[in-house]
Every structure is written in C-alpha cells, then in structure tokens.
A and B are shown apart, each in its own frame.
Chain A
Amino acid sequence: MTIGTVLAPSVLLAAAVATPPVPTFTTSVEAVYVDAFVTRDGQPVGGLNAGDFEVSDNGVRQDVSLVSVEAVPIVAVMVFDVSASVAGVRLDDLRAAGRALIAGLRPQDVPALVTFSHEVQIAVPLGGDPSTVRRAVDKLEAGGHTALWDGLYAGLKMPVAGGRPLVIVFTDGRDDLSWLSQEQVLKVARESEAVVYVVAITPRYEEVVKGASIMRPERELVEPAHVRLVRQIAEATGGRLWYAGVSAQLEPTFLRILAEMQSRYLLSFAPTGVARAGWHRLSVKVKGRKGTVRSRTGYFVAADARPAPAR
C-alpha cells in the first residue's frame, strides 16, 4: 500500500516546545507544524507516536515531535456559498449543518463565518462566541452569482493567532465572478497553515466527448472541471474534497470532517540542514506500518519572514 502524505504545516519563527496544553515557542529557532491524517483501509489510524513518523524537509530527514491535538484549539472558519442556486431546501440543510458543526466544537475551539455569492462577507470574524456564529448561520440568505475563489481567499486570510486553522468550504457550483484566479488562491493556500476541506454538492462525474470522430465519438466520465480545481486546493493543504450527493448529507459530512480533524496528528519539527527561505518540499510517511498519510506537500518561508505569534 502506498504511503502518501497529509499534513498541514505551519511555519513559526519560534522554537517549538511541543507539549500541551498550548505550545509556546522561543524566538531562536523556527518550528514547522504539520497536520497529518493517517488511514488504513479508509479508517483513521490512532495511537501513533512521534517515532512512527518519518518527515523529510527538502529531502532532509527531520526530528519530529508530536503535539497533543486535544489541547490545541481548532479554529474553524466556515466559508459558505450563498449564491442563488443554494436557495430553498439546500439553504435550510446548510443552516442545519452549520449549527451542527458549531455544536460539535469543543469549548476551546473557535468558529468564524465567511459567506460568498458574487460578494464576499466576513459574517462573523474570529473572536466572536459560538452563539453569534450560530445566529449568523440562522440568518443566511441566498442570492446572486458565485465568487468561490474570493470567498476561499477571505477564509484563508482569517487572522489565526493560535490553534489549528480549519477551513470548511461549502459550494454547489462553479466560480463565475471572482476577481482572484484559482492559481492565486492555490498559492495562498499552500502558504497558509490551514487545512481546507471542501464539501461540494455536485455530480461526481460528467460525461464528455473526446476525439474528433462525429460518427462514433468516444465518451468518458470525468470529474467536473470546477470540482477538480477546488479539490486541488483542498489536497494541497492536506484536506480533502467531500461529495455530498444531496444537501441532506451536509450535516453528517460536516461532522465527519470535525471528527477527522480531531483524529489528526499535529507534528512539529525545527528544520535542520535546509535553507530557510523559499519553498520546502515535505514528505511524511509512517514507518513500519501500512497506512496512507494525507498532508500538505510543502510550506513556504518568505525571505523576510518575521517571527509569528505562538499557537
């Protein structure tokens, strides 16, 4: 079985002391966090220790610590599509799913809400209490076009001062009005610390005709183009795309994402033997066990990056 990678790294210009409840850092050593999810036969694998992981940064093996995820707050930024196509039952189901997600958060977790149609709004910024976010979810209204990439950008740029940033995107359509391109948002996602999960209500496949023969055109089933683009962003962050066939599936899907977030491993290492600035290619494996690891494939350090606040 292939062992892949699934991590969400965070680059902090501080030294990691990877101990609960909330890690603190000195300012002399840069620490990188990688949020990883390990599965075997589709089921999460628990009980792993730091020694079970093998992490390479630009090909150089690193010493890894494990941070207890129980103690680290999840910063859950909901990014919801409220374009016209969501109106009706779908919106009712989205509200219910949002409420369920908020109810499923632990006391130390922090929710926020971004909405997008043709216009992006930060409905509730970070720092508000869950009841404020719940009320905002209840008041969601649908209408207009879809600026998915702009909405996702706003979610990724939420100022996360501490905790594990989780961006849950719901969409049921293709972007048609964003200013930013998918490539621009993909780059921001790769540089961010967030794990992005996308929940899409859309057919999993669409039939396309290939080849030039008019008489006997070849047909194939492919993932819709707009879904492929959003999946690329999710996977680049160590998250994933979920298909919700119908909107009634939104609530269980949101809760599954939350459960997955709580089943992940938060790895930490102080990079050694590699140049500081630039793109760092990451490889994360589980040693001596079968399993698939989902995590981001790299992280970026700007040449003039300054120390970030501790988680």
Chain B
Amino acid sequence: MLLVATVAEAAGPSATYRDAIERYRRGDRYVAGETAWTERVSDEIGQLKRLPAEGFPYEAAAMLHTDRDIYERDAAEQAEEVAPDTAPHLDAARQILALIRDDERRRAFERPWFLAVALHLYRRGQWPLALHYLDVALRLYADDPLLLLARGSLIESQVAADLPSTKADVLVTTSNRETAVFNRRSELYARLGDAEATYRRALRVMPDLVEARVRLGRVLHQRGDSSQAVAELAVAAAHPQADQATRYLAWLFLGAAREAEKRPPEAVEAYRAAVALDPESTVAAVALSHALHEAGERGAAQDVLRTALSGGRRRRDWDAWWSYRWGRSHEVEARLAALRERAMR
C-alpha cells in the first residue's frame, strides 16, 4: 500500500494540487484563495517536471499561481501591509510555462503572460520586481516592442520617483554629500540612458509605436538633449497613427523641450497645441501659463490660470499626464482576463 502511494507521488503532483488546477481550468477562480494546494509548491513543480504529459493544462496551472500572487498582494494591501518584494507564485508560474515543450504553444502564452505580470507589478508600485520580470522576458523575447515599451516606462517611473530626493540633497552642502549627490545624479542619468536605448530598440522593431517615440523624446529632454528631443516629439505629434492622448503628451513634452532650449515663444505654441487637444486639461493650462510667464507675458499667464482653474468646474478623473508615470499598467486587467480565458478553455 505504501509502495503504491510512493509510486503515485512520483508519477506527478498531488491530487490536491491537480484538483485545484482542474477547478481553476473549469472556471473556479476562487480556488486561488484557498491554501491547501499552496503548501508544497516547490515539490509539486518538481513533480510536474517529471510529468511527460503534453495534455497537461500548464496554462491553467500558471494562471492559478498568478491569481494566487494577486490574491496575496490584495490581502497585504487590505491589511495595510507592505506587499512582499518576492513573488514565489509568479516564479512558480514561470517555471510551469517553461515546461510547455511545444514552442508555438509556449510562446503564444508565455509572452503575453510576462507582459501582464510586469504590468500587474508595475501598477502596484512594485517596480524592481516588475523590472526583474521584464528583464527575464526580454532574454526570451528580445524584440518584443511592448515588453520594451513597458521596460522603458518603468525605468522612467523609477527615476521620477528618485529625482526629488536627489535634488533635495543638493541643498545639503557637506562635501561628502556633494560626492554622493554627484554619484546619484550620474546614476539617474545612466538609467535614463538605459530607458532611451530601450525605446530605440522598440522603435527599430515597430517604428509606428508612437508612444515609444513620445517617451524617447521625453527621456532625451531629461538627459539634456533638447534638440534631439524636439525632433522626435515633432515626428510623434504629427504621426497619423497617434491617438489624441499621445499627441497631447507629445505637444506637452515638446513645450518642455522648447523651454529647456530657452525658446519661450515656441514653448507657448506647443502648449497651446496641447490645450487645443484637451481644452479641459488643467495640466496643459499650468504648463501654458508658466511658459507665458517665462516669455514675459505675465498678465496672459494669469488669464490662462483664471480661465482654466476657476472653481465650480467638475473635477476630472483622467489626464494623460497623470497616468503617464504608470505606463500601460491600466491595461493589466484586460490582459489578465484574456489569459484566464485562454487558460480556462
């Protein structure tokens, strides 16, 4: 009897684990919140590796672990705890997907899975972990423009979060801190260079990925190369495939680049174009007002604010600038839903 049980174990994962995957495959997402199947995950995966069955629902198993990760992070957030900076269930899912021997089947699921997982972590502010998954993904799918776009925007987000403290440190004038500040600024500059290279790779693969061009322009501006930034942003703003939000951002960033070039009239022109694309935007109004201020048109700068920011207006929920720092992480639910649908077939 004991011998039979041992042989059965050696033949594959436990019945509890198999049952959880099967329930998930049939559409029961709640199984992700149960704990029984999660107790021996590394053993279960070890057993899965020995399983020769091509018919095994690897995709469902991977999504079960993915939803478990989401469940645990949701629970941590609800308890106002810091979510873990490790992801054992995502690692498990990744290992499971790697077991799919049919290249076409594996790539068809694994590539969008990596993107969805990266966006899931991105949206939750777990940026180092998101970057880790993107780097793993790009080792497998080096020319995927959407993975590259996500990676570049993630680096931008990290730099934007780190920049204020670096600027503030400049105000403290001890000599050892000056060196530290210099080093940190150099590091941020290098990271923006990494983002620039990432966007350029994406654009080599997909020249019409206008969002990557807009972001490239912004990064060039941040790195101090305003003339190149203007060139990229002008192309993006005029691109026939650019949607309204992307063109709006292109004009905003073009305005910023023109300000950096000390060309306030051109900055005003660019910001006016942004306002024309989104007349309700308070962001574009502030940008335009500031450019007018810098151009010496102080009264006009005040008029713009008075018109655009006056009380009684309905508050806006969305502006392309407000979501810029979060890249395409707003797509995560749709991407995960599509993966679940495929896993539950």
Distance to closest chain A CB from B220 (angstroms): 17
Classify chain B's interface size: 20 to 34
| Stretch of B146-154, B163-171, B327-335 contacting A (4+ beta carbons < 8 Å) | B163-171
Is B287 engaged at the interface, CB distance under 8 Å to the other chain? Answer: yes
Whether, in the assembled complex, A285 has its beta carbon less than 8 Å from a beta carbon of chain B, the answer is no
Interface string of A186-217 (1 = CB under 8 A from B): 00100000000000000000000010000000
Cβ–Cβ contact A154 & B309, under 8 A: yes
Question: Which of B165, B293, B319 is the one whose CB lies under 8 Å from A188?
Answer: B293
Docked-complex contact B306 and A179, CB < 8 angstroms: no
Residues of B with C-beta under 8 A to A177: 321-322, 325
Contact B311 A225 (CB under 8 A): no
Q: Within A105-157, which residues are at the interface with B (CB < 8 Å)?
A: 114, 118-125, 136, 145, 150, 153-154, 157
Does B117 count as interface, using CB distance less than 8 angstroms? Answer: no
Query: In the bound complex, do residue A119 and residue B282 qualify as a contact, i.e. CB atoms below 8 Å apart?
Result: yes
> Taking the complex as formed, is B345 at the interface, i.e. its CB lies under 8 A from any CB of chain A?
no
CB-based contact B301/A157 at 8 Å: yes
B226 contacts partner chain A, Cβ-Cβ < 8 Å:
no
- Kindly provide the distance from the CB of A140 to the nearest chain B CB, expressed in whole angstroms: 11
Whose C-beta in chain B lies nearest to the C-beta of A182?
B167
In contact, A157 and B293 (Cβ under 8 angstroms): yes
The verdict on A226 contacting chain B, using a C-beta distance below 8 Å, is yes
Which residues on the A side are within 8 Å of B296 (C-beta)? 302, 304
- A256 at the B interface (CB under 8 A): no
A117 to B185, CA, bound (A): 28
CA distance A136 to B321 in the complex (A): 27
Q: Is the CB of A184 within 8 A of B313?
A: no
Distance, CA A182 to CA B166, complexed state (A): 12
Q: Is the CB of B286 within 8 A of A124?
A: no
Contact partners of B293 in chain A: CB under 8 A: 157, 188
Bound: A62/B102 CA distance, A: 85
Assess whether B180 is interfacial by the CB under 8 Å rule: yes
Tell me if A88 is interfacial: C-beta within 8 Å of chain B: no
Q: Which residues of B contact A302 (CB under 8 A)?
A: 296
Chain A residues, Cβ within 8 Å of B198: none
Q: Mark B270-307, 1 if CB is under 8 A from A, else 0.
A: 00000000000011001101100100100101100110
A179: chain B residues at CB < 8 Å are 252, 283, 286-287, 321
Q: Which residue of B lies closest to A144 (CB)?
A: B315
Q: Which of B283, B289, B316 contacts A157 (CB 8 A)?
A: B289
B6 within 8 A of A: no
| Chain A residue nearest in CB terms to B271 | A179
Q: What B residues does A154 contact at CB under 8 A?
A: 286, 305, 309
Q: Are A184 and B165 in contact (CB under 8 A)?
A: no
Whether the pair A119, B315 counts as a contact (CB closer than 8 A) is yes
A222–B169 Cα gap in the complex (Å)?
A: 10
Q: Is B79 an interface residue (CB 8 A)?
A: no
Cα separation A229 to B170 with both chains bound (whole Å): 10
Q: Does A68 contact B (CB under 8 A)?
A: no
Q: Using A121-B309, A210-B180, A225-B168 as known contacts, say yes or no to A157 and B322 having CB atoms under 8 A apart.
A: no
Residue of B at shortest CB range from A136?
A: B311
Does B310 reach chain A (CB closer than 8 Å)? yes
Find chain B residues with CB under 8 A from A184 CB: 290
Supposing A118-B322, A154-B286, A228-B171 touch, asked if A174 and B306 sit within 8 A by C-beta, the answer is no
In the complex formed, the residue of A with least CB distance to B304 is: A157
Give min CB distance, A305 to chain B, whole Å.
8
Which partner residue on chain A sits nearest B293 by CB separation? A188
Once the chains bind, are B171 and A232 in contact (CB under 8 Å)? yes
On whether the beta carbons of A182 and B164 are closer than 8 Å, the reply is yes
B309 touching A188, Cβ below 8 Å? no
- A228 near B168 with CB under 8 A, answer yes
The 8 A CB mask of A289-311 against B (1 = contact, 0 = none) is: 00000000000001010000000
Q: Is B172 an interface residue (CB 8 A)?
A: yes
Residue of B nearest to A180 (CB): B290
Cα–Cα distance between A134 and B313 once the two chains are bound (Å): 18
Q: Is the CB of A175 closer than 8 A to any CB of chain B?
A: yes
Judging by beta carbons under 8 Å apart, are A226 and B311 in contact?
no
Shortest Cβ distance from residue A295 to the other chain B in the assembled complex, whole angstroms = 19
List 28 A-B residue pairs with CB atoms under 8 Å apart, sorted by A's residue number.
A119-B316, A120-B286, A121-B310, A124-B311, A145-B322, A153-B290, A154-B286, A157-B293, A157-B305, A158-B302, A159-B299, A159-B302, A159-B306, A175-B164, A179-B287, A179-B321, A182-B167, A183-B167, A184-B290, A188-B290, A222-B172, A225-B169, A226-B168, A228-B168, A228-B171, A228-B172, A229-B171, A304-B296
Besides A153-B286, A157-B305, A225-B165, 6 more A-B contacts (Cβ < 8 Å) are A121-B282, A177-B321, A182-B167, A184-B290, A228-B172, A229-B167
Chain A positions near chain B (C-beta within 8 angstroms):
114, 118-125, 136, 145, 150, 153-154, 157-159, 174-177, 179-180, 182-184, 188, 210, 222, 225-226, 228-229, 232, 302, 304
